[in-house]
Chains A and B, each alone.
Chain A
Amino acid sequence: MKVAAEKIPFNVELIRQDFPILKRKINGYPLIYFDNAATSQTPKQVIDTIVDYYSNYNANIHRGVHTLSQEATDKYEGARKKIQQHFNAANPYEIIFTSGTTHGINLVANGFASELKKGDEVLISALEHHSNIVPWQMLCEKTGAILKVIPMNENGELIFAEYEKLLSGKTKMVFVNHVSNALGTVNPIKKIIDKAHEAGAVVLVDGAQAAPHIKADVQALDVDFYLVSAHKMCGPTGVGVLYGKEKWLKKLPPYQGGGEMIATVTFEKTTYADLPHKFEAGTPNICGGIAFGAALDYMNEVGFHEIAEYEHQLLEYATKQLLAIEGVKIYGVSKEKTAVISFNIEGIHPYDIGTIIDKLGVAVRTGHHCAQPIMDFYKIPGTVRASFSFYNTMEEIDLFIEAVKRAKAMLE
Protein backbone atom coordinates (compact mmCIF):
# COMPACT_ATOMS: atom_id res chain seq x y z
CA MET A 1 0.00 0.00 0.00
CA LYS A 2 1.25 3.39 -0.93
CA VAL A 3 0.90 6.04 1.68
CA ALA A 4 -0.31 9.27 0.12
CA ALA A 5 2.47 11.79 0.63
CA GLU A 6 1.54 15.31 1.49
CA LYS A 7 1.78 17.56 -1.53
CA ILE A 8 4.89 19.73 -1.41
CA PRO A 9 4.22 23.31 -2.55
CA PHE A 10 6.03 24.33 -5.75
CA ASN A 11 9.58 25.32 -4.87
CA VAL A 12 11.94 25.81 -7.78
CA GLU A 13 15.07 25.67 -5.63
CA LEU A 14 14.11 22.24 -4.29
CA ILE A 15 13.18 21.07 -7.78
CA ARG A 16 16.55 22.17 -9.16
CA GLN A 17 18.30 19.92 -6.68
CA ASP A 18 16.72 16.96 -8.46
CA PHE A 19 18.55 17.81 -11.73
CA PRO A 20 22.28 17.01 -11.51
CA ILE A 21 23.05 18.62 -14.88
CA LEU A 22 21.93 22.04 -13.66
CA LYS A 23 25.10 22.19 -11.55
CA ARG A 24 27.27 22.18 -14.67
CA LYS A 25 29.42 25.08 -15.70
CA ILE A 26 29.79 25.96 -19.38
CA ASN A 27 32.84 28.00 -20.36
CA GLY A 28 33.16 28.94 -16.69
CA TYR A 29 29.57 30.18 -16.41
CA PRO A 30 26.69 28.35 -14.75
CA LEU A 31 24.65 26.46 -17.32
CA ILE A 32 21.43 28.20 -18.27
CA TYR A 33 19.46 25.60 -20.13
CA PHE A 34 16.80 27.21 -22.30
CA ASP A 35 16.58 24.53 -24.98
CA ASN A 36 13.86 22.55 -23.28
CA ALA A 37 11.67 22.34 -26.37
CA ALA A 38 14.45 20.31 -28.02
CA THR A 39 14.93 18.01 -25.05
CA SER A 40 14.25 18.34 -21.35
CA GLN A 41 16.70 17.55 -18.58
CA THR A 42 16.45 14.44 -16.45
CA PRO A 43 15.76 14.40 -12.70
CA LYS A 44 17.70 12.00 -10.48
CA GLN A 45 14.50 10.05 -9.80
CA VAL A 46 14.47 9.05 -13.49
CA ILE A 47 18.23 8.49 -13.63
CA ASP A 48 17.92 6.27 -10.52
CA THR A 49 15.17 4.27 -12.23
CA ILE A 50 17.48 3.63 -15.19
CA VAL A 51 20.35 2.60 -12.90
CA ASP A 52 17.99 0.39 -10.87
CA TYR A 53 16.77 -1.35 -14.02
CA TYR A 54 20.25 -2.24 -15.25
CA SER A 55 21.51 -3.01 -11.76
CA ASN A 56 18.66 -5.18 -10.56
CA TYR A 57 16.21 -6.55 -13.08
CA ASN A 58 17.50 -6.16 -16.65
CA ALA A 59 15.84 -8.94 -18.68
CA ASN A 60 13.86 -9.44 -21.84
CA ILE A 61 10.14 -9.14 -21.27
CA HIS A 62 6.93 -11.05 -22.02
CA ARG A 63 8.55 -14.38 -22.84
CA GLY A 64 10.72 -15.37 -19.94
CA VAL A 65 9.47 -17.57 -17.14
CA HIS A 66 12.27 -16.52 -14.84
CA THR A 67 11.96 -13.98 -12.06
CA LEU A 68 13.92 -11.14 -13.65
CA SER A 69 11.90 -11.34 -16.83
CA GLN A 70 8.67 -11.26 -14.88
CA GLU A 71 9.82 -8.30 -12.81
CA ALA A 72 10.86 -6.38 -15.91
CA THR A 73 7.58 -7.26 -17.62
CA ASP A 74 5.58 -6.09 -14.62
CA LYS A 75 7.43 -2.79 -14.48
CA TYR A 76 7.16 -2.23 -18.23
CA GLU A 77 3.46 -2.99 -18.30
CA GLY A 78 3.09 -0.92 -15.13
CA ALA A 79 4.61 2.03 -16.99
CA ARG A 80 2.11 1.50 -19.81
CA LYS A 81 -0.71 1.71 -17.26
CA LYS A 82 0.75 4.89 -15.76
CA ILE A 83 0.90 6.45 -19.20
CA GLN A 84 -2.66 5.28 -19.92
CA GLN A 85 -3.89 6.90 -16.70
CA HIS A 86 -1.92 10.08 -17.32
CA PHE A 87 -3.52 10.64 -20.72
CA ASN A 88 -6.80 9.07 -19.61
CA ALA A 89 -6.87 6.50 -22.40
CA ALA A 90 -9.73 4.02 -22.09
CA ASN A 91 -7.45 0.95 -22.19
CA PRO A 92 -3.76 0.22 -21.58
CA TYR A 93 -3.52 -1.54 -24.93
CA GLU A 94 -4.31 1.72 -26.70
CA ILE A 95 -0.88 2.89 -25.56
CA ILE A 96 1.75 1.75 -28.06
CA PHE A 97 5.38 2.23 -27.10
CA THR A 98 7.41 3.78 -29.90
CA SER A 99 10.92 5.16 -30.26
CA GLY A 100 9.42 8.64 -30.20
CA THR A 101 6.85 10.86 -31.88
CA THR A 102 8.36 10.59 -35.36
CA HIS A 103 8.20 6.80 -35.19
CA GLY A 104 4.55 6.99 -34.13
CA ILE A 105 3.66 9.34 -36.98
CA ASN A 106 5.28 7.01 -39.49
CA LEU A 107 3.47 4.03 -37.98
CA VAL A 108 0.09 5.72 -38.52
CA ALA A 109 1.00 7.13 -41.96
CA ASN A 110 2.09 3.70 -43.09
CA GLY A 111 -1.09 2.14 -41.76
CA PHE A 112 -3.29 4.56 -43.63
CA ALA A 113 -1.72 3.83 -47.01
CA SER A 114 -4.44 1.27 -47.64
CA GLU A 115 -7.22 3.54 -46.37
CA LEU A 116 -6.59 6.39 -48.81
CA LYS A 117 -7.31 6.58 -52.51
CA LYS A 118 -6.57 9.01 -55.31
CA GLY A 119 -8.32 12.34 -54.86
CA ASP A 120 -8.80 12.00 -51.10
CA GLU A 121 -7.58 14.99 -49.15
CA VAL A 122 -5.44 15.21 -46.06
CA LEU A 123 -4.94 18.44 -44.14
CA ILE A 124 -1.85 19.46 -42.22
CA SER A 125 -1.25 22.78 -40.53
CA ALA A 126 1.19 25.50 -41.52
CA LEU A 127 2.66 25.18 -38.03
CA GLU A 128 3.98 21.65 -38.46
CA HIS A 129 7.62 20.71 -38.24
CA HIS A 130 9.26 18.44 -40.77
CA SER A 131 8.44 15.17 -39.04
CA ASN A 132 4.74 15.93 -39.29
CA ILE A 133 5.03 17.03 -42.92
CA VAL A 134 7.30 14.56 -44.66
CA PRO A 135 5.52 11.28 -43.68
CA TRP A 136 2.24 12.70 -45.02
CA GLN A 137 3.87 13.89 -48.22
CA MET A 138 5.21 10.36 -48.66
CA LEU A 139 1.76 8.92 -47.92
CA CYS A 140 0.17 11.23 -50.50
CA GLU A 141 2.77 10.30 -53.11
CA LYS A 142 2.04 6.64 -52.47
CA THR A 143 -1.75 6.91 -52.58
CA GLY A 144 -2.48 9.85 -54.87
CA ALA A 145 -4.19 11.73 -52.05
CA ILE A 146 -3.84 15.50 -51.99
CA LEU A 147 -2.05 17.35 -49.19
CA LYS A 148 -3.58 20.68 -48.21
CA VAL A 149 -2.27 23.15 -45.67
CA ILE A 150 -4.28 25.05 -43.04
CA PRO A 151 -2.77 28.56 -43.20
CA MET A 152 -1.56 30.66 -40.28
CA ASN A 153 -1.64 34.38 -39.53
CA GLU A 154 1.13 36.80 -38.54
CA ASN A 155 0.61 35.98 -34.85
CA GLY A 156 1.47 32.38 -35.55
CA GLU A 157 -2.11 31.13 -35.09
CA LEU A 158 -3.98 28.84 -37.43
CA ILE A 159 -6.80 30.59 -39.28
CA PHE A 160 -9.81 28.61 -38.17
CA ALA A 161 -12.17 29.99 -40.83
CA GLU A 162 -9.75 28.79 -43.52
CA TYR A 163 -9.59 25.39 -41.87
CA GLU A 164 -13.38 25.13 -41.99
CA LYS A 165 -13.29 26.04 -45.67
CA LEU A 166 -10.74 23.33 -46.42
CA LEU A 167 -12.82 20.61 -44.74
CA SER A 168 -15.12 18.67 -47.04
CA GLY A 169 -16.41 15.19 -47.72
CA LYS A 170 -13.08 14.53 -49.44
CA THR A 171 -11.09 15.20 -46.26
CA LYS A 172 -10.00 11.88 -44.86
CA MET A 173 -7.37 12.92 -42.33
CA VAL A 174 -6.26 15.97 -40.37
CA PHE A 175 -2.81 16.27 -38.77
CA VAL A 176 -1.98 19.07 -36.45
CA ASN A 177 0.35 19.64 -33.55
CA HIS A 178 -1.06 20.49 -30.15
CA VAL A 179 1.72 23.03 -29.63
CA SER A 180 4.05 24.43 -32.31
CA ASN A 181 7.70 23.62 -31.65
CA ALA A 182 9.01 26.72 -33.39
CA LEU A 183 6.62 29.30 -31.94
CA GLY A 184 4.95 27.75 -28.90
CA THR A 185 1.42 28.39 -30.21
CA VAL A 186 -1.18 26.22 -28.49
CA ASN A 187 -3.66 25.13 -31.13
CA PRO A 188 -7.38 24.84 -30.32
CA ILE A 189 -7.27 21.12 -30.91
CA LYS A 190 -10.64 20.28 -29.36
CA LYS A 191 -12.37 22.57 -31.88
CA ILE A 192 -10.16 21.23 -34.68
CA ILE A 193 -10.96 17.62 -33.77
CA ASP A 194 -14.72 18.22 -33.50
CA LYS A 195 -14.87 19.94 -36.89
CA ALA A 196 -12.83 17.19 -38.52
CA HIS A 197 -15.08 14.52 -37.08
CA GLU A 198 -18.15 16.34 -38.39
CA ALA A 199 -16.57 16.04 -41.83
CA GLY A 200 -15.84 12.37 -41.21
CA ALA A 201 -12.06 12.78 -41.03
CA VAL A 202 -9.59 11.06 -38.70
CA VAL A 203 -7.41 13.31 -36.54
CA LEU A 204 -3.82 12.77 -35.46
CA VAL A 205 -2.38 15.22 -32.95
CA ASP A 206 1.35 15.55 -32.40
CA GLY A 207 1.53 16.25 -28.69
CA ALA A 208 5.32 16.22 -28.34
CA GLN A 209 5.57 19.91 -27.48
CA ALA A 210 2.35 20.02 -25.47
CA ALA A 211 2.89 17.05 -23.18
CA PRO A 212 5.61 18.70 -21.03
CA HIS A 213 3.21 21.53 -20.19
CA ILE A 214 -0.38 20.37 -20.69
CA LYS A 215 -1.99 17.18 -19.44
CA ALA A 216 -4.08 16.04 -22.38
CA ASP A 217 -7.18 13.90 -21.83
CA VAL A 218 -7.46 11.85 -25.00
CA GLN A 219 -11.02 10.73 -24.27
CA ALA A 220 -12.29 14.24 -23.55
CA LEU A 221 -10.53 15.46 -26.70
CA ASP A 222 -11.98 12.51 -28.62
CA VAL A 223 -8.73 12.46 -30.59
CA ASP A 224 -8.03 9.45 -32.81
CA PHE A 225 -4.25 9.45 -32.40
CA TYR A 226 -2.06 11.38 -29.98
CA LEU A 227 1.73 11.21 -29.86
CA VAL A 228 4.37 12.12 -27.35
CA SER A 229 8.13 11.69 -26.76
CA ALA A 230 9.50 10.88 -23.31
CA HIS A 231 12.65 12.97 -23.70
CA LYS A 232 10.69 16.20 -23.81
CA MET A 233 9.05 15.41 -20.48
CA CYS A 234 11.99 14.56 -18.20
CA GLY A 235 12.30 11.03 -19.56
CA PRO A 236 15.05 9.38 -21.61
CA THR A 237 15.55 9.67 -25.37
CA GLY A 238 14.50 6.91 -27.73
CA VAL A 239 11.09 6.21 -26.25
CA GLY A 240 7.64 7.65 -26.81
CA VAL A 241 4.05 6.70 -27.04
CA LEU A 242 1.38 6.52 -29.68
CA TYR A 243 -2.12 6.63 -28.29
CA GLY A 244 -4.68 5.33 -30.75
CA LYS A 245 -8.37 4.61 -30.39
CA GLU A 246 -8.91 0.88 -30.16
CA LYS A 247 -11.01 0.77 -33.31
CA TRP A 248 -8.23 2.34 -35.37
CA LEU A 249 -5.42 0.30 -33.88
CA LYS A 250 -7.36 -2.87 -34.60
CA LYS A 251 -7.97 -1.79 -38.18
CA LEU A 252 -4.45 -0.64 -39.08
CA PRO A 253 -1.97 -3.22 -40.34
CA PRO A 254 1.25 -3.81 -38.36
CA TYR A 255 4.11 -1.45 -39.16
CA GLN A 256 7.09 -3.73 -38.69
CA GLY A 257 7.33 -7.49 -38.64
CA GLY A 258 9.32 -9.45 -36.09
CA GLY A 259 9.21 -11.03 -32.70
CA GLU A 260 6.69 -9.89 -30.07
CA MET A 261 4.13 -8.87 -32.70
CA ILE A 262 3.06 -12.33 -33.74
CA ALA A 263 0.59 -14.88 -32.39
CA THR A 264 1.55 -17.89 -34.53
CA VAL A 265 4.08 -18.23 -37.32
CA THR A 266 4.27 -20.91 -39.98
CA PHE A 267 5.94 -20.51 -43.35
CA GLU A 268 2.49 -20.27 -44.92
CA LYS A 269 0.89 -17.72 -42.64
CA THR A 270 1.48 -15.60 -39.59
CA THR A 271 -1.26 -14.33 -37.35
CA TYR A 272 -0.61 -11.14 -35.48
CA ALA A 273 -0.64 -10.61 -31.78
CA ASP A 274 -3.33 -8.59 -30.06
CA LEU A 275 -2.91 -4.95 -29.17
CA PRO A 276 -0.59 -3.40 -28.17
CA HIS A 277 1.99 -6.03 -29.19
CA LYS A 278 0.91 -6.02 -32.83
CA PHE A 279 2.73 -2.69 -33.16
CA GLU A 280 5.68 -3.50 -30.93
CA ALA A 281 7.88 -5.78 -33.01
CA GLY A 282 11.19 -6.86 -31.51
CA THR A 283 12.58 -6.24 -28.06
CA PRO A 284 11.34 -2.81 -27.03
CA ASN A 285 13.17 -0.08 -25.16
CA ILE A 286 12.28 -1.73 -21.85
CA CYS A 287 14.32 0.51 -19.61
CA GLY A 288 13.16 3.57 -21.56
CA GLY A 289 9.51 2.67 -21.11
CA ILE A 290 9.93 2.14 -17.39
CA ALA A 291 11.89 5.39 -17.06
CA PHE A 292 9.16 7.20 -18.99
CA GLY A 293 6.74 6.02 -16.32
CA ALA A 294 9.07 7.38 -13.63
CA ALA A 295 9.28 10.72 -15.47
CA LEU A 296 5.49 10.98 -15.50
CA ASP A 297 5.40 10.19 -11.79
CA TYR A 298 7.92 12.95 -11.21
CA MET A 299 6.08 15.54 -13.26
CA ASN A 300 2.76 14.66 -11.69
CA GLU A 301 4.30 15.02 -8.29
CA VAL A 302 5.44 18.52 -9.17
CA GLY A 303 1.96 19.02 -10.61
CA PHE A 304 0.96 20.00 -14.13
CA HIS A 305 -1.17 22.85 -12.87
CA GLU A 306 1.79 24.25 -10.90
CA ILE A 307 4.12 23.70 -13.87
CA ALA A 308 1.83 25.58 -16.27
CA GLU A 309 1.34 28.46 -13.87
CA TYR A 310 5.04 28.86 -13.09
CA GLU A 311 6.16 28.52 -16.71
CA HIS A 312 3.64 31.17 -17.68
CA GLN A 313 5.28 33.55 -15.21
CA LEU A 314 8.68 32.77 -16.74
CA LEU A 315 7.29 33.40 -20.21
CA GLU A 316 5.70 36.73 -19.29
CA TYR A 317 8.82 37.93 -17.50
CA ALA A 318 11.20 36.89 -20.27
CA THR A 319 8.94 38.36 -22.96
CA LYS A 320 8.82 41.71 -21.17
CA GLN A 321 12.59 41.77 -20.61
CA LEU A 322 13.39 40.79 -24.18
CA LEU A 323 11.06 43.33 -25.73
CA ALA A 324 12.83 46.04 -23.72
CA ILE A 325 15.93 45.37 -25.87
CA GLU A 326 15.90 47.57 -28.94
CA GLY A 327 15.42 45.74 -32.22
CA VAL A 328 13.98 42.53 -30.74
CA LYS A 329 11.13 40.97 -32.67
CA ILE A 330 9.26 38.00 -31.25
CA TYR A 331 7.71 35.51 -33.68
CA GLY A 332 4.55 33.78 -32.52
CA VAL A 333 2.50 36.00 -30.25
CA SER A 334 -0.57 33.85 -29.93
CA LYS A 335 -2.60 34.46 -26.77
CA GLU A 336 -2.34 30.77 -25.98
CA LYS A 337 1.27 29.72 -25.95
CA THR A 338 3.68 27.61 -23.97
CA ALA A 339 6.91 28.95 -22.49
CA VAL A 340 8.70 29.35 -25.82
CA ILE A 341 10.09 32.58 -27.26
CA SER A 342 11.26 32.60 -30.84
CA PHE A 343 12.98 35.88 -31.62
CA ASN A 344 15.47 37.82 -33.69
CA ILE A 345 17.32 41.07 -33.24
CA GLU A 346 17.14 43.36 -36.22
CA GLY A 347 20.20 43.09 -38.44
CA ILE A 348 21.75 40.17 -36.52
CA HIS A 349 21.79 36.55 -37.62
CA PRO A 350 20.30 34.15 -35.04
CA TYR A 351 23.34 31.90 -35.39
CA ASP A 352 25.62 34.73 -34.23
CA ILE A 353 23.52 35.36 -31.12
CA GLY A 354 23.38 31.64 -30.30
CA THR A 355 27.15 31.30 -30.65
CA ILE A 356 27.96 34.24 -28.39
CA ILE A 357 25.48 33.44 -25.65
CA ASP A 358 26.66 29.82 -25.60
CA LYS A 359 30.05 31.27 -24.66
CA LEU A 360 28.25 32.82 -21.69
CA GLY A 361 26.72 29.50 -20.64
CA VAL A 362 23.29 29.96 -22.21
CA ALA A 363 21.90 27.07 -24.27
CA VAL A 364 19.26 28.06 -26.82
CA ARG A 365 18.33 26.70 -30.19
CA THR A 366 19.02 28.67 -33.34
CA GLY A 367 17.98 27.98 -36.90
CA HIS A 368 14.77 26.94 -38.58
CA HIS A 369 13.77 24.45 -35.83
CA CYS A 370 12.95 21.85 -38.47
CA ALA A 371 10.02 24.02 -39.47
CA GLN A 372 11.25 25.70 -42.65
CA PRO A 373 7.75 26.56 -43.90
CA ILE A 374 7.20 28.75 -40.82
CA MET A 375 10.49 30.57 -41.42
CA ASP A 376 9.53 31.04 -45.07
CA PHE A 377 6.21 32.51 -43.93
CA TYR A 378 8.05 35.16 -41.92
CA LYS A 379 10.76 35.46 -44.62
CA ILE A 380 13.56 34.88 -42.14
CA PRO A 381 16.47 32.39 -42.14
CA GLY A 382 15.64 31.26 -38.63
CA THR A 383 15.20 32.47 -35.10
CA VAL A 384 16.76 32.19 -31.68
CA ARG A 385 14.44 30.03 -29.62
CA ALA A 386 14.52 30.16 -25.84
CA SER A 387 12.24 27.54 -24.31
CA PHE A 388 11.70 27.35 -20.57
CA SER A 389 10.91 24.58 -18.18
CA PHE A 390 9.64 24.48 -14.61
CA TYR A 391 13.20 24.11 -13.29
CA ASN A 392 14.31 27.42 -14.81
CA THR A 393 14.34 30.59 -12.74
CA MET A 394 13.74 34.33 -13.06
CA GLU A 395 17.43 34.87 -12.18
CA GLU A 396 18.40 32.72 -15.15
CA ILE A 397 16.22 34.88 -17.36
CA ASP A 398 18.05 37.97 -16.06
CA LEU A 399 21.41 36.36 -16.94
CA PHE A 400 20.07 35.34 -20.34
CA ILE A 401 18.94 38.91 -21.03
CA GLU A 402 22.38 40.19 -20.01
CA ALA A 403 23.99 37.66 -22.36
CA VAL A 404 21.75 38.71 -25.25
CA LYS A 405 22.60 42.36 -24.62
CA ARG A 406 26.31 41.54 -24.60
CA ALA A 407 25.96 39.58 -27.84
CA LYS A 408 24.06 42.44 -29.41
CA ALA A 409 26.75 44.94 -28.44
CA MET A 410 29.43 42.70 -29.96
CA LEU A 411 27.56 41.96 -33.15
CA GLU A 412 26.16 45.33 -34.09
Chain B
Amino acid sequence: MNKIKEIQEEIVDEFSMFDDWMQRYEYMIELGKSLPLIEEKYKVEENLIKGCQSKVWVHAELEDEKLVFTADSDAIITKGIVAILIRAFSNQHPSEILEADTQFIDEIGLKEHLSPTRANGLVSMIKQLKMYAIAYQTQLD
Protein backbone atom coordinates (compact mmCIF):
# COMPACT_ATOMS: atom_id res chain seq x y z
CA MET B 1 0.00 0.00 0.00
CA ASN B 2 1.36 3.40 -0.85
CA LYS B 3 1.99 6.09 1.70
CA ILE B 4 -0.93 8.33 0.73
CA LYS B 5 -3.43 5.50 1.11
CA GLU B 6 -1.94 4.70 4.53
CA ILE B 7 -2.35 8.27 5.76
CA GLN B 8 -5.85 8.42 4.36
CA GLU B 9 -6.78 5.29 6.27
CA GLU B 10 -5.27 6.77 9.40
CA ILE B 11 -7.48 9.84 8.96
CA VAL B 12 -10.55 7.68 8.34
CA ASP B 13 -9.75 5.79 11.57
CA GLU B 14 -9.48 8.98 13.56
CA PHE B 15 -12.80 10.24 12.24
CA SER B 16 -14.53 6.93 12.93
CA MET B 17 -14.25 7.65 16.64
CA PHE B 18 -16.90 10.33 16.32
CA ASP B 19 -20.53 9.53 16.00
CA ASP B 20 -22.02 12.88 15.17
CA TRP B 21 -21.31 15.66 12.73
CA MET B 22 -20.55 18.16 15.43
CA GLN B 23 -17.62 16.18 16.80
CA ARG B 24 -16.36 15.61 13.27
CA TYR B 25 -16.46 19.33 12.55
CA GLU B 26 -14.80 20.12 15.84
CA TYR B 27 -12.03 17.70 15.01
CA MET B 28 -11.67 19.15 11.54
CA ILE B 29 -11.35 22.63 13.04
CA GLU B 30 -8.71 21.20 15.39
CA LEU B 31 -6.80 19.73 12.45
CA GLY B 32 -6.93 23.14 10.76
CA LYS B 33 -4.71 24.45 13.54
CA SER B 34 -1.95 22.01 12.58
CA LEU B 35 -1.96 23.09 8.94
CA PRO B 36 1.60 23.85 7.70
CA LEU B 37 1.11 27.52 7.01
CA ILE B 38 2.04 29.13 3.75
CA GLU B 39 4.60 31.93 4.01
CA GLU B 40 3.04 35.40 3.78
CA LYS B 41 4.99 36.18 0.60
CA TYR B 42 3.20 33.31 -1.18
CA LYS B 43 -0.25 34.60 -0.28
CA VAL B 44 -0.65 36.08 -3.73
CA GLU B 45 -3.36 36.01 -6.37
CA GLU B 46 -1.68 33.17 -8.35
CA ASN B 47 -1.80 30.88 -5.34
CA LEU B 48 -5.42 31.62 -4.57
CA ILE B 49 -7.78 28.77 -5.34
CA LYS B 50 -10.77 29.82 -7.38
CA GLY B 51 -14.25 28.63 -6.59
CA CYS B 52 -14.10 29.04 -2.83
CA GLN B 53 -16.34 31.39 -0.89
CA SER B 54 -13.49 31.78 1.54
CA LYS B 55 -9.91 32.46 0.53
CA VAL B 56 -7.55 29.49 0.20
CA TRP B 57 -3.91 29.80 -0.77
CA VAL B 58 -1.75 26.78 -1.57
CA HIS B 59 1.96 26.72 -2.30
CA ALA B 60 4.10 23.75 -3.34
CA GLU B 61 7.84 23.13 -3.30
CA LEU B 62 9.90 20.15 -4.35
CA GLU B 63 12.21 18.74 -1.66
CA ASP B 64 14.15 15.52 -2.41
CA GLU B 65 11.78 14.61 -5.20
CA LYS B 66 8.83 15.04 -2.86
CA LEU B 67 6.20 17.70 -3.04
CA VAL B 68 5.71 19.76 0.13
CA PHE B 69 2.52 21.76 0.43
CA THR B 70 1.79 24.74 2.63
CA ALA B 71 -1.54 26.54 2.72
CA ASP B 72 -3.89 28.85 4.59
CA SER B 73 -7.49 29.99 4.56
CA ASP B 74 -9.43 32.83 6.14
CA ALA B 75 -12.25 30.44 7.08
CA ILE B 76 -11.62 27.92 9.82
CA ILE B 77 -13.65 25.03 8.36
CA THR B 78 -11.99 25.45 4.98
CA LYS B 79 -8.65 25.48 6.79
CA GLY B 80 -9.58 22.13 8.35
CA ILE B 81 -10.49 20.66 4.98
CA VAL B 82 -7.29 21.81 3.33
CA ALA B 83 -5.30 20.52 6.33
CA ILE B 84 -6.79 17.05 5.86
CA LEU B 85 -5.93 17.08 2.17
CA ILE B 86 -2.41 18.30 2.72
CA ARG B 87 -1.78 15.77 5.47
CA ALA B 88 -2.52 13.05 2.92
CA PHE B 89 -0.71 14.56 -0.05
CA SER B 90 2.25 16.48 1.33
CA ASN B 91 5.75 14.96 1.40
CA GLN B 92 4.83 12.55 -1.36
CA HIS B 93 6.25 11.90 -4.76
CA PRO B 94 4.33 13.78 -7.52
CA SER B 95 3.55 10.51 -9.33
CA GLU B 96 1.88 9.12 -6.21
CA ILE B 97 -0.13 12.30 -5.75
CA LEU B 98 -1.32 11.97 -9.32
CA GLU B 99 -2.43 8.40 -8.77
CA ALA B 100 -4.16 8.99 -5.43
CA ASP B 101 -7.93 9.14 -5.12
CA THR B 102 -9.94 11.14 -2.61
CA GLN B 103 -12.48 8.53 -1.63
CA PHE B 104 -11.47 8.99 2.03
CA ILE B 105 -13.23 12.38 2.15
CA ASP B 106 -16.47 10.51 1.63
CA GLU B 107 -15.54 7.95 4.28
CA ILE B 108 -14.92 10.56 6.97
CA GLY B 109 -18.43 11.90 6.51
CA LEU B 110 -17.57 15.01 4.56
CA LYS B 111 -19.10 13.80 1.33
CA GLU B 112 -21.26 16.91 1.02
CA HIS B 113 -18.08 18.93 0.52
CA LEU B 114 -17.17 16.91 -2.55
CA SER B 115 -20.02 18.28 -4.63
CA PRO B 116 -18.55 20.43 -7.40
CA THR B 117 -21.13 23.14 -6.76
CA ARG B 118 -20.24 23.39 -3.10
CA ALA B 119 -18.98 26.87 -2.34
CA ASN B 120 -15.96 25.73 -0.31
CA GLY B 121 -14.18 24.58 -3.42
CA LEU B 122 -12.82 21.27 -2.11
CA VAL B 123 -12.92 19.96 -5.65
CA SER B 124 -10.89 22.96 -6.82
CA MET B 125 -8.39 22.35 -4.02
CA ILE B 126 -7.87 18.73 -5.07
CA LYS B 127 -7.49 19.83 -8.67
CA GLN B 128 -4.91 22.41 -7.66
CA LEU B 129 -2.82 19.89 -5.67
CA LYS B 130 -2.87 17.56 -8.68
CA MET B 131 -1.90 20.41 -11.00
CA TYR B 132 1.18 21.05 -8.87
CA ALA B 133 1.96 17.34 -9.04
CA ILE B 134 1.70 17.37 -12.84
CA ALA B 135 3.94 20.43 -13.08
CA TYR B 136 6.65 18.97 -10.84
CA GLN B 137 6.37 15.52 -12.34
CA THR B 138 7.27 17.05 -15.70
CA GLN B 139 10.31 18.65 -14.07
CA LEU B 140 11.42 15.31 -12.64
CA ASP B 141 10.96 13.53 -15.97
Contact = CB atoms under 8 A, between A and B. Distances in A.
A352 B76 contact: yes
Interface string B39-63: 0000000000000011100000000
A215 to B, nearest CB: 34
A410 B80 CA distance: 13
Nearest to A381: B74
Contacts of B77: 351-352, 355-356, 411
A411 B29 contact: yes
A373 to B, nearest CB: 18
A348 interface: yes
B76 A348 contact: yes
Contacts of A168: none
Interface range, B side: 10 to 19
A410 B119 contact: no
Contacts of B25: 356, 359, 410
A27 B21 contact: yes
Nearest to B21: A359
Contacts of B22: 359, 410
B75 interface: yes
Interface in A322-352: 348-349, 351-352
A382 B78 CA distance: 15
Contact of A410 (B26, B55, B74): B26
Interface in A351-399: 351-352, 355-356, 359, 366-367, 381-382
Interface residues of A, number: 14
B91 interface: no
A70 B52 CA distance: 49
B56 to A, nearest CB: 11
B31 to A, nearest CB: 14
Contacts of B137: none
Interface in B83-141: 119-120
Interface in A64-93: none
B75 A349 contact: yes
Contacts of A381: 54-55, 74
A92 to B, nearest CB: 39
Contacts of A411: 29, 76-77
A83 B119 CA distance: 36
Given A366-B53, A367-B119, A381-B54, A351 B75 contact: yes
Which of A351, A381, A382 has the most chain B CB within a 10 Å cutoff? Answer: A351
B80 to A, nearest CB: 10
Nearest to B26: A410
A355 B26 CA distance: 13
B78 A410 contact: no
Contacts of B75: 349, 351-352
B26 A351 contact: no
A359 B29 CA distance: 15
A130 to B, nearest CB: 15
A368 to B, nearest CB: 9
A133 B37 CA distance: 37
B26 A349 contact: no
Given A348-B76, A351-B120, A355-B77, A410 B29 contact: yes
Contacts of B54: 349, 351-352, 381
Given A349-B75, A352-B77, A382 B21 contact: no
B133 to A, nearest CB: 27
Nearest to A367: B53
B76 A382 contact: no
A250 B87 CA distance: 64
A352 B28 CA distance: 12
A382 B29 contact: no
Nearest to A358: B112
Contacts of B21: 27, 359
A349 B76 contact: yes
Given A359-B22, A381-B55, A410-B22, A351 B29 contact: no
Contacts of A352: 54, 75-78
B78 to A, nearest CB: 7
A367 B78 CA distance: 14
B114 to A, nearest CB: 14
A382 B119 CA distance: 13
A213 B54 CA distance: 31
Given A410-B29, A411-B76, 9 more contacts: A348-B76, A349-B54, A349-B75, A351-B119, A352-B77, A366-B119, A381-B74, A411-B29, A411-B77
Interface of B: 21-22, 25-26, 29, 53-55, 74-78, 119-120
10 contacts: A348-B76, A349-B74, A349-B75, A349-B78, A351-B54, A352-B78, A355-B77, A359-B21, A359-B25, A411-B76
